[in-house]
Structure 1
Amino acid sequence: MKFNRLGSSNIPVSEICLGSMTWGLQNTQQDADQQIQYALERQINFIDTAEMYAVPPSPETYGKTEAIIGDWIRRHPSQRQDLIIATKIAGPGLNWVREGSPMTAKSVQSAVEASLKRLQTDYIDLYQLHWPNRTSPHFAKHWPNMIDFSDIDVDEQTTQMLDILHALDQCVKAGKIRYCGLSNETPWGISQYLKLAQQHNLPKMVSIQNEFSLLHNKDWPYLIEQCVHEDIAYLPWSALAGGALTGKYLKGARPEGSRWTLVQRNGLFRDTPQSQQAVAAYVDLAKQHALTPAQLALAWCKQVNGVSSTIIGATTLQQLQENITAFEVTLSEACLEAIKEILQHHPQPF
C-alpha cells in the first residue's frame, strides 16, 4: 500500500480511503465490520464518514454511519490508533439537521461533540466542512449562470468562515480534532480559509474532497494546482460517478439493491444521454485492456497528479475487493491516450 502525507499535516494516509456512506441503509453493522477488517488487512488506514450519513440522507438515517463505526471502535479499542477517521459537519439545507441553518461557531462545537459520541472516540483525526454556507458549484450546479456569484455577500461569508475557524481552533486546542479540511469547495473558498488562518493564527485546512472522476473532472487543473502548491491533500469522492462508471446502469439497467434504485435527493443528475455514451466507451476500453470498468476508472483517478487518496465505497465485499485491486493497476500509455481521446469527446457529460 502506498501512503501519502495528508496535506500539510504529519499524518500518512493510504492512497485508498474507505468510504462509508452506505453503512446504515444499504449496509448493516456486520457488512461494515467485514469491510473495515478487510481494509485493515490491506493496510488501508483512512476511513471517511459524515454526520449526514447514511445516504440518501433522511431524518431516519442521520448519524447512523458514525454510530456503526463507533460500535466497531467500541469492540476494537486497541485498533483505534491504526485508523485515520475523517468526518464532516453538514452545511445548511437539511431541515432535520439544526433546522437547515448555516454553520456557525456554536453548531461546529455541538456537531463535533455529537460526532465524538456517535463514533465512541476521544478525537477525530480530520474534521471537514461538508459543503459551504453559500451555494457552491457542486452537485450538478456547475453550468454557467446556475449560480449568481455577484449576489454573494463576500463580507458576510468571510465573517462566517472566520467564526467557523475560531470554533475549529477551540476544538483542536481541546484535543477533540487533530486537523481540519474542506469538502465541495472552490478555489475562492480555499483561498479565503487559508488567508484567514494565516491572518488570525488559526488552523490551516489540510485537505479538500470534491467530486472527481472520468465523467466529472472540472477540478483539473485549476483547483488541483492550488492544492499542490498550497500543500492541501486532494481527496476525490465519487470516483465511479455514483456507480455509473461500472457500467451497471447502461441502457437504463437498475440492478436490485443498487444505489440508483433509491430515491436520490438531487435526482439522477449523472444519468444523461452524454454520460451513457461516455460510460459505454470506457466500458469497451476496459475490456480491451483486460480490466473491469471500475478498475479502469479508479486506476485513472489515482494516477492524476495531485490526488492524495481516493475515496471508494462498496455495498458488497466483492465490490470492495475489486475496487482495491484497481490501485495495483498501472495504465499503459496506450490506454491513457485512449482515455484522453474519450475525455475530449465527452469532457462534461453531466
Structure 2
Amino acid sequence: MQFSRLGSSTLDVSRVCLGSMTWGLQNNQHDADEQINYALSHGINFMDTAELYAVPPSEDTYGETEKIIGNWLARHQEKRQQVVLASKIAGGGLRWIRGGAPISAKTIIEAVDASLQRLNTDYIDLYQLHWPNRNSPHFANHWPGMVKFSDVDREQQLSEMLEILQALQTCIDNGKIRHWGLSDDTTWGINTYLRLASEHNLAKPVAIQNEFNLLHTKDWPYLIENCIHEDVAYLPWSPLGAGALTGKYIDGARPEGSRWTYVQRNGLFRDTPHSNQAVKAYVQLAQQFGITPAQMALAWVNQVDGVTSTIIGATSMAQLKENLQAFELTLDDAQQAAIGELLQRFPSPF
C-alpha cells in the first residue's frame, strides 16, 4: 500500500480510504467488521464515515454507521491510533438532524460530541463539513442555471464561515478533532476558508472530498489545481459513479440488493441514456485491457495528478478484494490514451 500526506496536516494516509456508508443498511455489523479487518490487514489506515450514514439517508438509519464503527473500536482499542478516522457533520435540510438546521458553531459542538459518543473514541482525525450552507453545484446541480451564485448573500456567508472556523478551532483546542476538511464544496469555498483562517489565525482545511469519476470530472482541472497549490488533499468519493462504472446497471439492470434498488434522496440522476452509452464503452475497453470495469475506473482515478486518497465502498468482500487490486495496477500511456478518447466522447454524461 502506498501513502500520501493529507494536505497540510502531519498525517500520512493510505492511497485507499475505506468508505462506510452502506454499513447499517446494506451491511450489518459482521460485514463491517470483516471489511475493516481485511482493509487494515492490507495496509489501509484511512476510514471515512459521517453522522448522516447509512445511505440512502433516513431517520431510521441516522448515526448507525458511526455506531457500527464505534462497536468495532470498542473491541479493538489497541488499533485506534493505527486508523485515521474521518467523519462529517451534515449540512442543513434534513428535519431529523437537528431539525434541519444549517451548520453553525452550535451544531458543530453538538455534532462532534454526538459523533465521538457513537464512535467510541476521544478524537476524530479529520472532521468534515458534509455540504456547505450555501447552494453548491453538486449532486447533478452542476449545469449552468441550476445554481444561481449571484443570489448568495456574500457577507452572510462570510460571517457563517468564520463562525464555523472558530467552532472547529475550539474542537481542535479541546482535543476532540485533529484536523478539518470540506466536502461537496467549490474552489471559492476552499479559498475563502483558507483566507479567513489566515486572517484570524485559525486552523485551515486540510482536505476536500468531492465526487470524481470517469463519468463526472468537473473538478479537473481548476479545483484540483487549486488543491495542489494550496496543499489541500483531494479525496474523490464515488469513484465508480455509485456503482454505474461496474457495468451492473447497464440497460436498466437492477441486481437484487444493489444500491440502485433503494430509493435515492436525489434520485438516480446518474442513470441517463448518455451515461449508459459511456459505461458500455468503458466496460468494453476494460475487457480489452484484461481487467474488470471497476478496476479500470479505480486505477484511472488513482493516477490522476492531485488525488491523495480514493474513497471506495463495497457491500461484499468479493467487491472489496476486487477494488483493492485496482490500486496495484498502473495504466500505461496507451491505456490512458484510450480512456482519454472515451472521456472526450462522453465528457459529461450526467
Aligned to 2:216: 216
Higher mean alpha-carbon deviation, 47-56 vs 91-100, is at 91-100
1:1-350 matches, cutoff 5 A: 1-350=1-350
Distance 1:135 1:29 in 2: 35
Distance 1:332 1:233 in 2: 25
Amino acid at match of 2:315: T
| 1:92-114 residue CA offsets vs partner (Å, 9 max, x unmatched) | 11111111111110100000000
1:148 to partner: Cα distance: 0.9
1:333 to partner: Cα distance: 1.4
Distance 2:134 2:98 in 1: 16
Following superposition, which runs of at least 4 residues in structure 1 exceed 6 angstroms of deviation? none
Distance 1:95 1:137 in 2: 22
Distance 2:299 2:308 in 1: 13
1:334 to partner: Cα distance: 1.3
Identity over aligned pairs, percent: 66
Distance 2:230 2:195 in 1: 11
1:335 to partner: Cα distance: 1.1
TM (norm. structure 1) is 1.00
Distance 2:124 2:198 in 1: 23
Distance 2:191 2:156 in 1: 16
1:194 to partner: Cα distance: 0.2
1:78 to partner: Cα distance: 0.3
Distance 1:140 1:289 in 2: 30
1:131 to partner: Cα distance: 0.2
Distance 2:109 2:39 in 1: 31
For residue 103 of structure 1, give the secondary structure of its aligned residue in structure 2. coil
For residue 211 of structure 2, give the secondary structure of its aligned residue in structure 1. coil
Distance 1:147 1:67 in 2: 35
Distance 1:335 1:298 in 2: 14
Amino acid at match of 1:274: H
For residue 235 of structure 1, give the secondary structure of its aligned residue in structure 2. strand
For residue 85 of structure 2, give the secondary structure of its aligned residue in structure 1. strand
| 1:279-331 residue CA offsets vs partner (Å, 9 max, x unmatched) | 00000000000000000000000000000000000000110000000000111
1:188 to partner: Cα distance: 0.5
| 1:39-61 residue CA offsets vs partner (Å, 9 max, x unmatched) | 00101000000000000000000
Distance 2:184 2:103 in 1: 14
Amino acid at match of 2:178: R
1:13 to partner: Cα distance: 0.1
Note the residue ranges of structure 2 that are not aligned, 5 or more in a row. none
Distance 1:342 1:40 in 2: 35
Distance 1:333 1:199 in 2: 44
| 1:16-64 residue CA offsets vs partner (Å, 9 max, x unmatched) | 0000000000000000000000000101000000000000000000000
1:224 to partner: Cα distance: 0.2
Amino acid at match of 2:101: S
Task: Provide the aligned C-alpha RMSD in A.
Answer: 0.4
Note the residue ranges of structure 1 that are not aligned, 5 or more in a row. none
For residue 192 of structure 2, give the secondary structure of its aligned residue in structure 1. helix
TM (norm. structure 2) is 1.00
